[in-house]
Amino acid sequence: MEQKYLITRGRVKLFLQQNGMRIANETYEAINEKLKSILMDAVKRAEKNKRSTVLPHDL
């Protein structure tokens, strides 16, 4: 079964609350999609460099 979120909603909400902000429910999906995009770009870079490990500089 595919996990819906790569992020922990509670931790995102807590982080924003600690910075004086609230979050709309739709924002979680936007954050999740952005993270997936970042990770897929990192995967492509690692593959291009013939590695099976994503490294910090791939991000």
Q: What is the pLDDT of residue 30?
A: 96
User: DSSP of 24-50, one letter per residue?
Assistant: -HHHHHHHHHHHHHHHHHHHHHHHHTT
Place 4 in a pLDDT band, splitting at 50, 70 and 90: confident
pLDDT, tens only, 27-58: 999 999 999 999 999 999 999 999 999 999 99
Q: How far is CA 28 from the centre of its chain?
A: 10
Prediction pTM value: 0.84
